[in-house]
Chain A
Amino acid sequence: MTLRLLTGFCLSAALTFAAGFNMPAGKVTLKSAGALAFGPSGILFVGDSVGASIVALDVDDRTPGDAGASLEIKGVNEKIAAMLGTAADQILVQDVVVNPISHNVYISVSRGRGADAVPVILRASAAGKLTEVSLDNIKHASVTLPDSPTADRQRVETITSLKYADGRVFVAGLSNEEFSSSLRAIPFPFQTADKGTGIEIWHGSHGRFETQAPVRTFVPYEINHKTSILAAYTCTPLVTIPVSELKSGAKVKGTTIAELGNGNKPLDMIVYTKGGKHFILMANSRRGVMKLSGDNLEGYAPITKQTEVTGVPYETIASLKGVQHLDKFDDASALVLMGEGASLDLRTVPLP
């Protein structure tokens, strides 16, 4: 079995796509900046829930980063607030991702908490220097999410997770009105004709009851040259879904491989290899950071009946408390945004 994180693809693809995608340069106006993801050749995808769109930005950041680099910015939320001319309690850090080529870190921030909040994208270098990614004249492309009329001030689909795999941007969203799944697969480069149709994701591995369950967060991974996504539903269970099944209009049922306990909401997941073994690292709202074995994921018998916490074995990493965001930094380190009080630190930690 081979399992590798898809960012490996990004690295090898960087040479192929070094010239970048043919996107026109111009001003980008985001209405909000939430979930982030990196695609091929240093393309940064930004989920704009208020604007009901996904924006691809060529952040022109394709110089490979140094191996073995590390990063630490203490009080990063206070530093960002100072750059934006406000107090730390007046900004919200929405997401944090690592450019797999350069290892620079990209941060989506909301300046302000009200309806007049301004979205800002920042970059943190390995040296810890924070700069703004200017959107005044940047190569970009965007796609509007279907069935999300921005003229309707009340209906909003919040983009909870965004990932790129196999030429498509996968978008998990949660409606503020209808409880249903809305995982979308949008081909990239974006095409006018194909904005990606919703895929019905059902959660039904308890033998009996099926719900059209929203996906909260997910990560693509590869088993035996077949890409799957490992997804966490809002109702906690962890499932695997082959990407090949994620076709427009399809009804897909995830296979439950773990239930992680009441009130525990997965926030971010990464997949990595260490000592020849494969692992999943998952930041959770209530139960800290969990490390799960990623070997033989396809070998676990689906959980088909009501059980206690069970499935794929896991351990909790005691040293990582208060982790709000998690991404893979490089082959040896993870990047975390963590803090249990008002002050948040952005730093690399060795992959456990």
Chain B
Amino acid sequence: MVVNKTPLRIGFVSLLLALACAAQDTAIRAAQDTAIRMEGGVFRVAGWQAGAPPAAGWSALLSVYAGVGDIPPLLGTYSVEAGALTFRPRFFLSPGLHVRAVFQPPGGAAREAVFEIPKAAPLEATTRVAHVYPSADILPANQLKFYIYFSAPMGRGDAWHHIRLLREDGSPVALPFLEIAQELWDRDNLRLTVLFDPGRIKRGLASLAEAGPALDPGKRYTLEISRDWLDGRGAVLADEYRKGFRVGPADRAPPEVATWRVTAPRAGKTDALVLHFPKPMDYGLLQHSIAVAGRAGVGGDAAIEGSVAVASDETEWRFTPRQPWTAGAWRIIVQTTLEDLAGNHIGRPFDVDTFDKVTQSVTRETVELTFQVK
């Protein structure tokens, strides 16, 4: 018997081919349906059922790159949610970024998706320099610092490009400030402390001899803060800021509490106690270096609560108590760390002249003044 097997063979092969084609179609459809989606900053692989994680971790299958060039993938965490491989970046993606997500299914062709994170809307320039201390327009030649207050939080890391000290002819003074990379901000980026380079203030240093002082007595200067300094949102300032001032002689005399004048408040009122200084004091330190307490030893040791205001170009310290004053003796307790504009402390100059017995440093932490409330 002759059995012709050919048709059967052909039929079987055709079936295999058909099955193979169908499988291929399914594979193609699956690949076409597999897509990387980004919703709310979260990346998901749709159309692919995630099984057990590969030995090298999910990052072997899905990586997201923020930016261009030779860069490592975004930091983030992987999970499988409703069967979909999901990637949550560690941080939100900044506006304007070009993002590329690459999915490499096991044994399949890689899929890639590109997302453009929308650029932020142009920001309105609203932040201003609110004030610069010292407020006075005559400063000692050995002025130690400026406090620059802003109306809104600023950005860090770029301060020294935006602060200049100009001479009367508009030429900039070279390196007048201590340009430290860390920048001396407060906790909210609202106030920057700018120290003059102590190497150009302190007597007896090579740098003072080499470059001279930053400020010459009798001359006029301008502190200039440029408008293109970016605030915490990334917007430029609303305006350039300029503070002009004249330079007086160097001040090497420590502040003397005995020369301060007290305007005492009246009993039964919440009038301000006013301290008048014969020269301006440091604005920042005035906020917390002076306290008011009752007579020592009669239950009046603790400082009373109240609010502090500084006025008249930092020559006035005003204290308004929360409770009305009671008649009797009161004390004003002053930390000796309080400085004048040139960094002279109570009882000790900025740089102590060890040959001069008059300026030996004091070791007390506080000094006191008394006043009577009637």
Query: Chain A residues in contact with chain B, CB under 8 A?
Result: 34, 49-50, 75, 78-79, 81-87, 90, 92, 94, 110-111, 113-118, 129-130, 132, 150, 152-156, 158, 160, 174-180, 203-204, 206-211, 213, 216, 233-237, 259, 261-265, 267, 285-286, 305-310, 324
A211 lies within 8 A of B350 (CB): yes
Given contacts A116-B232, A160-B182, A208-B353, contact A85 B92 (CB under 8 A): yes
- In B164-201, the 8 Å CB interface with A consists of 174-175, 178-191, 193, 195, 197-200
**Known contacts A211-B202, A259-B205; A176 and B186 CB within 8 A of each other:** yes
A179 touches B205 (CB 8 A): no
The segment out of B65-73, B258-266, B301-309, B322-330 that lies at the interface is B65-73
Nearest CB on B from A84, distance (A): 5
Q: Which A residues touch B155, using CB under 8 A? A: 113-114
Do residues B184 and A79 form an inter-chain contact, with CB atoms below 8 A? no
Residues on B with beta carbons closer than 8 Å to the beta carbon of A305: 204
A256 to B158, CA, bound (A): 32
Tell me, in angstroms, the Cα distance from A285 to B205 when the chains sit together. Answer: 18
Interface residues of B (CB under 8 A from A): 65-67, 69-75, 89-94, 96-97, 144-145, 153-158, 174-175, 178-191, 193, 195, 197-200, 202-211, 230-233, 282, 284-285, 287-288, 337, 339, 343, 350-355
Q: Is the CB of B193 within 8 A of A82?
A: no
Besides A82-B67, A211-B352, A259-B206, 4 other A-B contacts (C-beta < 8 A): A78-B67, A84-B91, A156-B187, A307-B206
Contact B188 A209 (CB under 8 A): no
Q: Is the interface of B mostly helix, strand, loop or mixed?
A: loop
Whose C-beta in chain B lies nearest to the C-beta of A179?
A: B343
Using known A-B contacts A85-B90, A307-B206, determine if residue A210 contacts B186 with beta carbons closer than 8 Å: no
Task: Report Cα–Cα, A333/B209, bound state, in Å.
Answer: 37
Bound: A155/B190 CA distance, A: 12
B211 close to A79 (CB less than 8 A): no
- Hey, which chain A residues are within 8 Å of B157, CB to CB? 92, 110, 113
Question: Most chain-A CB neighbours within 10 Å: which of B153, B203, B206, B230?
Answer: B206
Chain A residues with CB below 8 A from B156, complex form: 92, 110, 113-114, 117
Asked if A115 and B351 make an inter-chain contact with CB atoms under 8 angstroms apart, the answer reads no
A156 adjacent to B350 (CB under 8 Å) = no
Cβ B74 vs Cβ A82 within 8 A? yes
CB distance B232 to A113 under 8 Å?
A: yes
Closest-CB distance, A204 to chain B (whole angstroms): 7
Query: Of B200, B285, B351, which is in contact with the most chain A CB atoms at under 10 Å from its CB?
Result: B351
Residue numbers in B under 8 Å from A204 (CB-CB): 352, 354
Tell me the minimal C-beta distance from B338 to chain A in angstroms: 9
Shortest distance in angstroms between B151's beta carbon and chain A's nearest beta carbon? 14
Do A308 and B210 contact each other (CB < 8 Å), given the known contacts A85-B74, A85-B91?
Answer: yes
Assembly CA distance A87 to B282 (angstroms): 39
Point out the residues of chain B lying under 8 angstroms from A265, CB to CB: 178-180
Most buried by A among B174, B207, B337: B207
Instruction: Please report whether the interface of chain A is mostly helix, strand, loop or mixed according to DSSP.
Output: loop
- The interface residues of chain B lying within 8 Å CB-to-CB of A75 are 69-70
A208 touches B339 (CB 8 A): no
Tell whether, in the assembled complex, residue B198 and residue A154 are in contact, meaning their CB atoms are under 8 Å apart.
no
**Smallest CB–CB gap between A72 and chain B, Å?**
13
Task: Return chain B residues, CB-CB under 8 Å to A117.
Answer: 156
Is there an interface contact between B94 and A153, defined as CB atoms closer than 8 Å? Answer: no
- Given A85-B93, A160-B182, A235-B199: A306 in contact with B353 (beta carbons within 8 A): no
Taking a contact as CB atoms under 8 Å apart, the answer to whether B184 and A156 are in contact is yes
A96 to chain B, nearest CB (A): 12
Contact A206 B205, beta carbon cutoff 8 Å: yes
Nearest B residue to A47 by beta-carbon distance?
B182
Among B144, B184, B204, B339, contact of A209 (Cβ-Cβ < 8 Å):
B204
Q: Which of A178, A234, A259, A261 meets B337, CB within 8 Å?
A: A178
A-B interface, 9 closest residue pairs, ranked by CB to CB distance from nearest: A114-B232, A206-B204, A262-B207, A82-B71, A113-B155, A176-B184, A235-B199, A262-B211, A263-B175
Compute how far the CA of A306 lies from the CA of B92 in the bound complex, rounded to whole angstroms: 55
**By the criterion CB–CB under 8 Å, are A132 and B71 in contact?**
no
Contacts of B205 in A (CB 8 A): 206, 235-237, 259, 306
A176 and B72 form a contact (CB under 8 A): no
Chain A hits for B209, CB < 8 A: 306, 308
Give every chain B residue within 8 A of A286 (Cβ-Cβ). Answer: 175
B351 touches A160 (CB 8 A): no
Chain A residues within 8 Å of B71, by CB: 78-79, 82-83
On chain B, the residues within 8 Å of A114 by CB distance are 153-156, 189, 231-233
- A306–B195 contact, CB under 8 A? no
Chain A hits for B195, CB < 8 A? 179, 234
Residues of B close to A208: CB separation below 8 A? 203-204, 353-355
Is A79 in contact with B72, judged by CB distance below 8 angstroms? yes
B50 to chain A, nearest CB (A): 23
A179-B186 in contact (CB<8A): no
Nearest to A311 among chain B residues (CB) is B206
Cβ contact of A207, chosen from B144, B179, B204, B211, cutoff 8 A: B204
User: Which single residue of chain A is at the shortest CB-CB distance from B156?
Assistant: A113
Q: In the bound complex, what is the Cα–Cα distance between A30 and B65 (angstroms)? A: 26
Q: How far is the CA of A92 from the CA of B157 in the complex (A)?
A: 7
Q: Which of A87, A110, A177 has the most CB of B within 10 A?
A: A177
Contact A86 B180 (CB under 8 A): no
Pairwise interchain contact B204-A285, C-beta atoms closer than 8 A: no
Given contacts A90-B94, A209-B202, contact A84 B182 (CB under 8 A): no
